[in-house]
Chains A and B, each alone.
Chain A
Amino acid sequence: MPSTLEKIRVLGENSKYDICASTASSRTDKYPKLFGDTNSWIGNTASAGICHSYTPDGRCMSLFKTLYTNKCIYNCKYCFTHSCKRKMSFTPEEYARTFMKLYSMNVVEGVFISSAVCGSADKTTEEMLEAIRLLRFKYNFQGYVHFKCLPGVSQYLLKEAISLSDRISINTEASSKDYLAEIADQKDFNNDIITRQRWLKQIRLKHNDEALKVMKDFKQDNTLEYQGKMIKERREDGYKKFRWDGAPILNSGQTTQFVVGAAESESDYDLLKRIDWGYREIDLRRAYFSSFIPIEGTPLAGKQAASLAREHRLYQTDWLLRIYHYKLKDLEEIFNEEGNLPKGDPKMHLASEYFKDRNLVDPNQASYRELLLVPGIGPISAKRIINLRAKKFVFKRRQDLKSVGVVLKRAEPYLLINGHNQTTLNKYFDIISDNVSQREIV
């Protein structure tokens, strides 16, 4: 029987490729908690998250991130558990106790629970949920929980997982059915993953609609007797009808993760297309990318690792989709023939393509969308510019733009400030090459 320490070592190592960046929770205090506010809860979430440590690759390490078990019925070609000879599982009690100890030491901010599929997805999820239930109801833990759903899990378990956690995710791993078949042939892309992602959205929306109706009654008939009855009913039904802490709204957004470069010929465009679909169709909060790293003992051990620069470029482009609300078709012109992103900042490439045959941007006249196209101007500085213009402010100097947060180093080549534009060295070379070619023609 392996010790808890041994389990943490092996199962922690097995989960190190799973990514979760933030521990921030978007819980709202807008509605009263129907279980009543009590002091017996332990733990809290910070609005921007707190990192208690960093690993030597610079990543924030704030979650108790281990697999629940590494015994798996799947044999995904890229996966660590495939090659791991030592198979073990936590018990729900052991998992909850260990986490609470770490939380009391102020070294972790929350839980990230993931697992291999032992026996069946439902059986493993039941056990994972038991661990989270213990945390929530035995140890009264109120902090951050990220629940990683297993492919093919039943709807009723998803419902419970969503009401117990702050964030929920299902790993998509690849952008399409064919690419997934290449690296994990036992998983059914549409049924095991996409359908479950759609369910997560439906469960949350349906629940929140119903909860808001109940809250309306709660406010209208504000008698103590009625509220007391309702709180009693709620307690008896438990968190299954509402969120675990009695809050009516489920706020757990879903995320997903892709393995970049494991499937042959899967391009950046394929991945971004899937993410774009996620933002539109399943209320995806964000996507994570994990560069493929060959692991000894797996069928893909001989394959070349994907570059970290590719992962970085995907994150940059995802930012343009998620924060800037660009459409994927706006970005199409920067992809190369294989559908991959070129080296360097995608926004810089986009700007150089866009402004090739268009006029430069005058911050005193440009629309919000045009301002956003300029590198060095983000949504916040673009909004500030628009708001200042509404107050009849005229941008005449570089400093005026700097004071609203514009990064002039990147923005200047694309801006007309007081009728002038800063010429770049590239432009200078273009003029020289034009002159040379004209001379050659002469």
Chain B
Amino acid sequence: MRKLIEEKDPMEVVGCARGHSCEELIHNLPRHCKFYPALIQHINKIPEVILRNSGTPIAKKVNRMMREISKESYRAMQFTRTEINNRGVLFGIVSLKHKVMDRVLNYFHKRWPECIICLYNEHTHKTSTIDEKGIIHKIDSPLKTVVEKASKNRPLIPYFDDIQFSGKEIFETLYSSQFISERENQKYFKKMIPEKCYELPGMRSGIEKRFRNKKINDYF
């Protein structure tokens, strides 16, 4: 790759280069739980093309860290199960090791811009909220208290009041109805929802687990 190193960044001409740019790394790596400031100095010394292609052990390491960060936030967006009360407060539990709470909160904020979002992080035992203006607060109280406090001065919103019924059973029925037994593919299923996803708060009591842990009798 000598020639590639000499040039500035030939990949960028395609507009679809692999890996992350230096700016992205500097911006996002501090989110990782094992981040240390000296890492940024290391990154600044390495040409971007090596970083993009995991050309050295340190480049491999930073790319792995970036992957862990984005994976955690994406999993949280996928598998966090939430509830909404009739005052327009959306709440749920997450388990985030890295500092990606802002990403997850913003994801929910874009979906429910008029609501207050409260997410309790099991890992840090803190509740984070995002209000209608998109301002994030960190509170050292349990989720229930934060939700009660946030709901206090808010009016009753008719269409949120309209959907105040238990939805767990509805989802379980919908999920079971979609399964085509002739196409069952446990290997693929396990690849799409790996074991560690069942440790996420939203998935612990999820119906998916019941389909995964089949008894030997189910096969006959």
A40-B114, A393-B7 in contact; A400/B170 too (CB < 8 A)? no
A380-B14, A391-B7 in contact; A56/B111 too (CB < 8 A)? no
> Using an 8 Å CB-CB cutoff, how does the interface string of A370-383 with B read, 1 for contact, 0 for none?
00000000001001
> Using an 8 Å CB-CB cutoff, how does the interface string of B106-125 with A read, 1 for contact, 0 for none?
00101111100000000000
Residue count of chain A within 8 Å CB distance of chain B: 60
A56-B184, A387-B14 in contact; A101/B78 too (CB < 8 A)? no
Nearest A residue to B114, CB-CB: A39
Q: Which of B81, B110, B182 contacts A105 (CB 8 A)?
A: B81
Q: Is the CB of B174 within 8 A of A12?
A: yes
Q: Is the CB of A55 within 8 A of B169?
A: no
A156 within 8 A of B: no
The B interface, classified by DSSP as helix, strand, loop or mixed, is helix
A58-B185, A106-B82, A107-B81 in contact; A380/B16 too (CB < 8 A)? yes
Q: Is the CB of A51 within 8 A of B78?
A: yes
Q: Is the CB of B192 within 8 A of A39?
A: no
B64 within 8 A of A: no
Q: Is the CB of A9 within 8 A of B111?
A: no
Question: Which residues of A36-86 have CB atoms within 8 Å of chain B's CB atoms?
Answer: 39-44, 50-61, 64-66
Q: Which of A59, A64, A387 contacts B13 (CB 8 A)?
A: A387
Q: How many angstroms from the CA of A318 to the CA of B28 in the assembled complex?
A: 38
Q: Which of B3, B11, B162 contacts A384 (CB 8 A)?
A: B11
A138 within 8 A of B: yes
B83 within 8 A of A: yes
A410 within 8 A of B: no
Q: Is the CB of B132 within 8 A of A39?
A: yes
Q: How many angstroms from the CA of A293 to the CA of B184 in the assembled complex?
A: 13
Collect the chain A residues with CB atoms within 8 Å of residue B111's CB. Answer: 42-44, 143
Q: How many angstroms from the CA of A388 to the CA of B12 in the assembled complex?
A: 10
Nearest A residue to B202, CB-CB: A106
Nearest B residue to A105, CB-CB: B167
Residue among A41, A50, A58, A380 with most chain B CB within 10 A: A58
Nearest B residue to A104, CB-CB: B84
Q: How many angstroms from the CA of A399 to the CA of B55 in the assembled complex?
A: 11
Q: Which of A54, A64, A293 contacts B192 (CB 8 A)?
A: A54
Q: Is the CB of B167 within 8 A of A104?
A: yes
Query: How large, as a class, is the contact surface on chain B?
Result: 35 or more
A8-B170, A56-B179, A56-B189 in contact; A105/B112 too (CB < 8 A)? no
Q: Is the CB of B82 within 8 A of A8?
A: no
Collect the chain B residues with CB atoms within 8 Å of residue A44's CB. Answer: 110-111
Q: How many angstroms from the CA of A50 to the CA of B103 in the assembled complex?
A: 15
Q: Is the CB of A305 within 8 A of B14?
A: no
Q: Which of B53, B167, B184, B193 contacts A102 (CB 8 A)?
A: B167
Q: How many angstroms from the CA of A122 to the CA of B71 in the assembled complex?
A: 45
B10 within 8 A of A: yes
Q: Is the CB of B10 within 8 A of A57?
A: no
Residue among A16, A39, A53, A383 with most chain B CB within 10 A: A53
Q: Is the CB of B185 within 8 A of A66?
A: no
Q: How many angstroms from the CA of A51 to the CA of B186 in the assembled complex?
A: 18
Q: How many angstroms from the CA of A349 to the CA of B16 in the assembled complex?
A: 29
Collect the chain A residues with CB atoms within 8 Å of residue B185's CB. Answer: 56-58
Q: A10-B177, A102-B174, A106-B81 given; name 8 further pairs at CB < 8 Å.
A: A41-B113, A53-B208, A54-B208, A102-B167, A105-B167, A383-B16, A393-B10, A394-B3
Q: Which residues of B come within 8 Å of A, CB atoms?
A: 1, 3-4, 7, 10-11, 13-14, 16, 18, 53, 74, 77-84, 90, 92, 108, 110-114, 132, 159-160, 162-163, 165, 167-171, 173-180, 182-189, 191-193, 202, 206, 208, 211-212
Q: 14 A–B contact pairs at CB < 8 A?
A: A44-B110, A54-B208, A55-B175, A56-B212, A57-B185, A61-B178, A100-B162, A305-B182, A380-B16, A384-B11, A384-B16, A393-B3, A393-B4, A393-B7
Which 8 residue pairs of A and B lie closest in terms of their CB atoms, listed nearest first?
A58-B188, A12-B177, A57-B183, A54-B192, A104-B84, A101-B167, A13-B177, A44-B110
